[in-house]
A and B are shown apart, each in its own frame.
Chain A
Amino acid sequence: MPKFDWIHKILVLGSGAIKIGEAAEFDYSGSQCLKALQEEGIETVLINPNIATIQTDPRLSGKVYLLPVTPEFVEKVIAKERPDGILLGFGGQTALNCGMELAKTGILDKYNVKVLGTPIAAIENTGDRERFRQAMLEADVPPLKSGSATSVEAAMRIAEDIGYPVIVRVAYTLGGRGSGVAHNVDELKETVTRGIVQSRIHQVLIEEYVGHWKEIEYEVMRDYADNCLTITNMENFDPMGVHTGDSIVVAPSQTLNNREYQKIRQTSINAIRHLGIIGECNIQWALNTKSEEFRVIEVNSRMSRSSALASKVTGYPLAYIATKLSLGYLLPELINKVTEVTTACFEPAIDYITIKVPRWDLQKFKNADRHVGPQMRSVGEVMAIGRCFEEVLQKAVRMLDIGKIGLVCNPEDYEPESEKRIRGELANPTDEHLFKISKALRMGLSVSEIYRLSGIDPFFLNKIKNILDMEDKLRKLNLNEPAAIEIIREAKRIGFSDEQIAVCQRTNATAIRNFRKNNKIIPCVKQIDTLAAEYPAKTNYLYMTYGGDEDDITFSNNASKVIVLGAGVFRIGSSVEFDWCGVNTVWALKKNDVKEAIIINYNPETVSTDYDVSDKLYFEELTTERILDIYDKENPLGIITSVGGQIPNNLSVKLTDLGANILGTSAENVDLAEDRSKFSALLDKLGISQPPWSKLVTIEDAKRFAEEIGFPVLVRPSYVLSGSAMRVAYKNVSLENFLKMAAKVSPDHPVVISKFITGAKEVEVDGVSDGENVLIGAIMEHVENAGVHSGDATMTIPPQALKPEVQKDIENCTQRIVKALKIQGPYNIQYLVKNDVVNVIECNLRASRSMPFVSKVRGINLIDQATLAMLGKKINIQLSPMTATSHVGVKVPQFSFMRLSGADPVLGVEMLSTGEVACIGENFSDAFSKALQAAEVHIPPKDGTILISIGGDQDNKKRVIPIAQAFQEMNFRIYATANTAKVLNDSGIATTVLYKVRDAQVNPNILDYLQDKKIDLVINVPVTNHKEDYSDILTDGYIIRRQAVEFNVPVITNLQLAEALIDVLKKNNSNGQSIRSLNEYMDEIPWKQW
């Protein structure tokens, strides 16, 4: 029973889709929260449309609503469920904003729902800059000099007072969206204009600029009796000026002395007490590098990315404890779950160092700005644990999975670059600035000069220099010298991988591994125990290091153990869905009596890296070297590589070659599916068609083949220099340009050219097989025609426009392919359908991105079945995908274009979405409408306004006529660019011309209409039949799309999607929206296996 005995039922708000600034860390915090509530016997209700999360599993949460986290939907759930209290602190800014709106509009009072934990007034005091500043002044906590403004004029006055440069921050947005430094009046005007629009309360803050000060954070907990703790502090490697989400961060702080550490700690507590936070919060500071002067920057009055990180840094379960505090418990009443004997009222002592490094994917976005600054742009992060800075830094670089084997010893390290350019990068960092530091050092720039330019503390720079010095030493080293053993030992201690040493020694990693083992240079396993070994701990939270000589744990040799490889770093294309797969695999292993389910993963945002999910957690690199180190110590039955996405999947063959046992489909059959030629031969043998393709090694051959099969063609180089890895070429010139400028084609780096079938439907199946029985979880139909990456496509279960005989055909093809490959585990097959003919595009012998979507919509946990199969058991359910449920599930991508200055929101074969949501409804439009709103798309109101702009020739433009007609029938006011308007008016659709952005003086102008919110929806379909990748960046279409993104107006760039939206708009008027929980939908499924 909770401390507050009036609590019986609690509503928890989730954070929705993964987006830049709000990622899987909220699955971690929400899951821990639900766990803590259930322990108390409290009934829980969760609202979160992110179907790929662990928290939206009915086993974890009493009731799950896959609905948008918006006041409108939350009110409906409140009305239905009537909870006693609501928790707003576990779903990021999305949940917090929604909660404040609910409080402000009186909905919480109306239904008598109490806000638990931090009260609304305190949340408001932290969210509104001016109120925050006042509160800090009252508490004697020094804030930055600043003022808030709701107009450009007011902003200018404040900036004059403070003096330039100033930083413009936007109130109430995620991850610092819209913020920027203004060095002069012009820059100020531009940033402020945009910021006011983006702010939920149309407010910006103008602040004193403290660039190059140290950025420090503290994680603070407070209970109802005013007890306060700081769980850890963190120090940003990057100085102030780079958003903390985009900064490299170490914990605990490294360069602060006791006075600085304790003064900021105490002031943090003073601030938090004054604000009245209950539970957990994060407080950020700027610390002068030449004195003890510091300023408070902001308080996040909720679980945040940093608090998730702090949980992983220390082993202290912040979200769990914060939940208990919200229920009225006091810190000294709670137990430290790691030791199980000591109190939770303490501050963890750390005897290791951790580092967080962000991962960007900016190169994927055409025209996106690659600088890092006050606006967060990274899409993932890694955390490394070790006993010295050099070790964790090099580990982290490998964890990023950006093709680097460490900070040094990469081929590109020696590519020449001008000193001017390097200096520029140091002063204005980009996503590659870490590597520019080593380049600068190699060029001979001094540590103090690099410090002057970058503001990165010389303490860190000297450590980087140590790594470079070691590289030099290793290159000169003769392994036969007696001194070599100690040098290799030292190299390992400072984080060099076998591969890095091998590069220096011109040998292979296995040779170094053998040398190491012969000389007893092996890493040891250490525990994260929250108390620096002061008390014995029962923890299974582990890391490996060369900074020690004794394992903290002993290894049982006869227990049945299985290692599950996690998904590693999240990036575009690999996200929380693979964590769902990993965690479900562990749960399934436990159900099947595996004694030790062991996870290896290093992503601090995830549930799988919570130490109580598995029997053992190695917070470690997913490299063959480290996996084998663990394998050697643990001696498991085998490793599961097929549930964590690309990273573990790609390790599968290497691990097999090095003697590890991989559970699931045999390596031979994996090869049969992955080797294009072999797979193609198999399809031929089975009589299943596929688009014509060929693997080519010269540009000339590529061109010849493309002409032979006819344009457009899909181009997939195996080596990409920059930009996206896949491209559709519509004619010879673009094919040649792409291959010459963006890729490398040679016998070592072949390019695959295949026929791009236009106007085809794309369909996928997800399933499981045990080698004999084939389970097809579902047939998923893409709404968009082929050509949009499956990760960016809108998907529906069951299919809406696929004939039963075609579905039958797909079922048959799947059965035959899966049986031929003797798949033992999960699989995913992608098909193209044109004129009712089914073509196979590819087959993956691993869990796919859509696994949780299929599992939850169809009521069958595919990972449960896959785990059975991988353990050599038989799957226990047979079901045709054509046996339909009475509900429809629709998955919709979430984009983060607003955060990525300059990025073109047009969809193509390269994936660009950062996350996804899925909603379930009575029919397609019910589910799709909810899903769109869940992905933050504002559905235009009745009688709304629409801007249509279609590129290309008359024929192309004519394709939009039926769509425009439909909008006209719904009484939409229709605007269009001149040429499109002509086509529409000619076909009897009343259309008003708006002038293009570049004709800024001509009215009425698109830009004004977007700015003034006079447009509810933009349909802009780019020219597709002669798309030129390098010239269309500044076309009118791009400008319209980009401006719409900036002003938060939904943009649709695909005609099928427009049609689906029309369906929603038409039915919405009569249908309403169903408010039913996932549990209710699942309970209706006769074959439910959950």
Chain B
Amino acid sequence: MSDKNKTAILLLKDGTSFIGKGFGATGKISGETVFSTSMVGYTETLTDPSYKGQILALTYPMIGNYGVPSPILDLGLPRCFESDRIQARGLVIHELCYEPYHWASTRTLDKWLTDEGIPGIYGIDTRRLTKKLRTHGVMLGILQVFNENQKPDIDALLKECDNIHDPNQTDLVKEVSTKEPCRYSVNGKLTVVLIDCGVKFSIIRCLLTRGINVIRVPYDTSANEILTYNPDGILVSNGPGDPKRNTKTIETVRVLAEKLPLMGICLGTQILALAFGADTYKLKFGHRSQNQPALDLNSSSCYITTQNHNYAINMETLKQTQLEPWFINPNDKTIEGIRHKTKPVFAVQWHPEASPGPYDTDMLFDKFKKTMEAK
């Protein structure tokens, strides 16, 4: 069993502090503190590249219950993991399970975080934290796990709080995107070029399962270069940070959307909107959960979706473009899905690949496939 006596502290930019116990790696990190209300799927969530640069707080109080599996490959990609490492900078939870039990588990959450050098804090009132973030919006923060005999110097940390670097000011997408193009072939008739802004493995798997070959290219690949692959369609992936920073990708998408069927997911949706001249803005505390409703504006259908985004498309500016709103979130009326008025181009703000979360909308991949077949 791990050492349970490490002190840890989470400090928010406004000076709010949470003192608890440390797990995972010892050390100090900073980042944007966000919360997710997902009740299952911590391995998928932590490895989701969209969490790059963030300190992730989970509102479900008991975490680590089913341990961490060793990767089981499914179409060449590991189950239960969305990339090859933990992407969040730190983890904040209420209770850590030291004695998990699951047939697939090979190590504890504590061990996994230690192995990957990620600090975690538990034993704090995560509901108080959530309410804080809900009221003030996501906040920069510092998470430090101390050695057993180390005493936290809160005053010193508080001073550091004033100068926390905002990860949204860096090219987070660059950090998580593939460096080189890579191919996933299932000998399918169709091939999709996937513009990787921080793609989750499950998105690739959703295409492969449908007999679609995938060529995953770096986020800054030019349209011309992409066209040399002669793809049947383009998928613009999810990813971290402020969409407006991805100027090259926006430009690429502007060109490709005129020529090929295109599907966007999460960050990809914002990039598509920006490419067509709409604007995006930062939400106060974003949507991060597996229970977000997405209402189809043209039918009575409402889907339960996994979401993880802090930015949204401005409705008014969208109306000036060739794109139209398709789905909205009935709770805060934000745009959840858009599509081109005439072309086979659409995008959703949520994660139809689920993982973690419900599979309600995986038919969007079928729809994407159909548009490519119809081409």
Find the residue from A342, A387, A533 having the highest chain B CB count within 10 A. A533
Interface residues of B in 56-107 (CB under 8 A from A): 59-62, 65-66, 69, 79-80, 94-95, 97, 99-104
Check: B130 CB closer than 8 A to any chain A CB. Answer: yes
Count B-side interface residues using an 8 Å CB cutoff.
54
Complex: chain B residue closest to A529, CB-CB: B127
- CB < 8 Å: which of A256, A291, A524, A532 contacts B66? A256
Tell me if B128 counts as interface (CB < 8 A to partner A).
yes
User: Which chain A residues border B59 with CB–CB below 8 Å?
Assistant: 349, 351, 532-534
- Report A-chain residues with C-beta under 8 Å of the C-beta of B130: 351, 532-534
Q: With A332-B302, A533-B59 as given contacts, are A258 and B291 in contact (CB-CB < 8 Å)?
A: no
- Asked if B44 CB lies within 8 Å of chain A CBs, one says yes
Binds A, one of B238-246, B311-319, B352-360: B352-360
Is there contact, CB below 8 Å, between B293 and A346? yes
CA distance in complex: A255, B66 (Å)? 6
Query: Across the interface, do A345 and B302 meet the contact criterion of CB distance under 8 Å?
Result: yes
Taking the closest CB of chain B, its distance from the CB of A527, in whole angstroms, is 9
Interface residues on A, range: 35 or more
- B174 in the interface, Cβ–Cβ < 8 Å? no
In the complex, the answer to whether B300 meets A225 with C-beta atoms within 8 Å is: yes
When distances are taken between beta carbons in the complex, the residues of chain B under 8 Å from A692 are: none
Known: A262-B354, A351-B61, A351-B127. A534 touches B300 (CB 8 A): no
A731 to B12, CA, bound (A): 78
Contact A346 B304 (CB under 8 A): yes
Whether A254 and B62, one on each chain, are in contact in the complex, defined by CB atoms closer than 8 angstroms, is yes
With A345-B293, A353-B62, A534-B37 in contact, is A262–B100 under 8 Å at CB? no
Within 123-161 of A, Cβ neighbours of B (below 8 Å) are at none
Does B289 interact with chain A (Cβ within 8 Å)?
A: yes
Q: A457 with B101: in contact, given A227-B300, A332-B302 (CB under 8 Å)?
A: yes
B108 to chain A, nearest CB (A): 12
Question: Contact between B330 and A255 (Cβ–Cβ < 8 Å)?
Answer: no
For B184-221 the 0/1 string (1 means CB < 8 A from A) is 00000000000000000000000000000000000000
Within 8 A of B (CB), among A311-345: 330-332, 341-343, 345
A389 near B: Cβ within 8 Å? yes
Q: Does B292 contact A (CB under 8 A)?
A: yes
When C-beta atoms are compared, the residue in chain A nearest to B289 turns out to be A349
For the complex, give the distance between the alpha carbons of A387 and B125 in Å.
10
User: Could you tell me which residues of chain B, from 98 to 138, have a CB within 8 Å of some CB in chain A?
Assistant: 99-104, 125-128, 130-131, 134
Indicate if the CB atoms of B101 and A347 lie closer than 8 Å: no
- Contact indicator per residue, chain B 3-26, by CB within 8 Å of chain A (1) or not (0): 000000000000000000000000
- B103–A289 touching, CB < 8 Å: yes
Instruction: Report B323-375 residues with CB < 8 Å from chain A CB.
Output: 330-331, 354-360
Given A388-B95, A534-B134, A549-B125, do A290 and B103 touch, yes or no (CB 8 Å)?
yes
Q: Which residues from A are CB-within-8-Å of B295?
A: 332, 343, 345
With both beta carbons as reference points, the residue of chain A lying nearest to B68 in the complex is identified as: A257
**Complex Cα–Cα for A549 and B59 (A):** 15
Indicate whether A265 reaches chain B with its CB closer than 8 angstroms.
yes
Known contacts A353-B62, A388-B62; A259/B134 CB under 8 A: no
Q: Judge if B40 is at the interface, Cβ distance under 8 Å.
A: yes
Residue in chain A with minimal CB distance to B97: A459
Judge if B27 is at the interface, Cβ distance under 8 Å.
Answer: no
User: Nearest Cβ distance between residue A482 and chain B, in whole angstroms?
Assistant: 15
Q: Does B230 contact A (CB under 8 A)?
A: no
Residues of A within 8 A of B66 (CB): 255-257, 459
Complex-state Cα separation, A524 to B94, whole angstroms:
15
Task: Report if B301 contacts A (CB, 8 A).
Answer: yes
Task: Determine how close the nearest CB of chain A comes to the CB of B285; give it in whole angstroms.
Answer: 8
CB nearest to B66 among chain A residues = A257
Question: Given the complex, which residues of A lie within 8 Å of B104, measured CB to CB?
Answer: 257
Measured CB to CB, the nearest residue on chain A to B124 is A549
User: Do the beta carbons of B37 and A347 come within 8 Å of each other?
Assistant: no
Complex contact A548–B127 (CB within 8 A): yes
Of chain B, the residue at the smallest CB distance from A466 is: B99
Which of A258, A353, A388 makes the CB contact (< 8 A) with B41? A258
Shortest A349–chain B CB gap in Å is 4
Enumerate chain A residues within 8 angstroms of B356, measured Cβ to Cβ. Answer: 258, 262
Interface check B161, CB cutoff 8 A = no
Query: Which chain B residues (214-272) contact chain A, with CB distance < 8 Å?
Result: none
Query: Residues of B contacting A387 with CB < 8 Å?
Result: 61-62, 94-95
> With A254-B65, A533-B59 in contact, is A345–B330 under 8 Å at CB?
yes
Q: Is the Cβ of B330 less than 8 Å from the Cβ of A332?
A: yes
Separation of A255 and B63 alpha carbons in the complex (Å): 10
B342 to chain A, nearest CB (A): 28
For the complex formed, measure the closest distance between the CB of B302 and the CB atoms of chain A, giving whole angstroms. Answer: 4
Contact at B330–A343, with CB atoms within 8 Å? yes
| B280 contacts partner chain A, Cβ-Cβ < 8 Å | no
A109 at interface by CB-CB < 8 Å: no
Q: Which of B79, B104, B358 is the most central at the interface, judged by chain A CB atoms within 10 Å of its CB?
A: B358
A547 to B95 Cα, complex, angstroms = 9
Are A550 and B125 neighbours in the complex by a CB distance under 8 Å?
Answer: yes
A265-B358, A457-B101, A547-B94 known; A226+B127 contact, CB < 8 A? no
Q: Complex formed: what's the CA distance from A534 to B100 in Å?
A: 28
In the complex, what residue of chain A is closest to B69 when comparing beta carbons?
Answer: A257
User: A459-B100, A535-B331 known; A261 and B40 CB under 8 Å?
Assistant: yes
Whether B290 sits at the interface, judged by CB under 8 Å, is: yes
Closest residue of chain A to B359 (Cβ to Cβ) is A266
| Complex alpha-carbon distance, A693 and B56, angstroms | 69
User: Hey, which chain B residues are within 8 Å of A549, CB to CB?
Assistant: 125, 128
- Greatest chain A CB density within 10 A among B60, B100, B293, B357 is at B293
B101 & A343 in contact (Cβ 8 Å cutoff): no
B29 close to chain A: CB less than 8 A = no
Check: A458 CB closer than 8 A to any chain B CB.
yes
A258–B40 touching, CB < 8 Å: yes
Known: A462-B99, A526-B127. A227 touches B290 (CB 8 A): no
A257-B104, A524-B125 known; 14 other A-B pairs, CB under 8 Å? A225-B301, A252-B39, A257-B69, A290-B103, A291-B103, A343-B295, A347-B291, A347-B304, A347-B358, A351-B60, A459-B99, A459-B101, A534-B285, A535-B331
Q: Which residues of B contact A (CB under 8 A)?
A: 35, 37-41, 43-44, 59-62, 65-66, 69, 79-80, 94-95, 97, 99-104, 125-128, 130-131, 134, 285, 289-293, 295, 299-302, 304, 330-331, 354-360
A residues within 8 Å of B by Cβ? 225-227, 229, 252-259, 261-262, 265-266, 269, 289-291, 330-332, 341-343, 345-353, 387-389, 457-459, 462, 524, 526, 531-536, 547-550, 552
- The contact sample of 8 A-B pairs, CB cut-off 8 A, is A255-B102, A341-B331, A350-B60, A459-B97, A459-B99, A532-B127, A533-B59, A549-B125
Per CB-CB distance, the 6 closest pairs between chain A and chain B, nearest first, are A258-B41, A349-B37, A225-B300, A532-B37, A258-B356, A532-B59
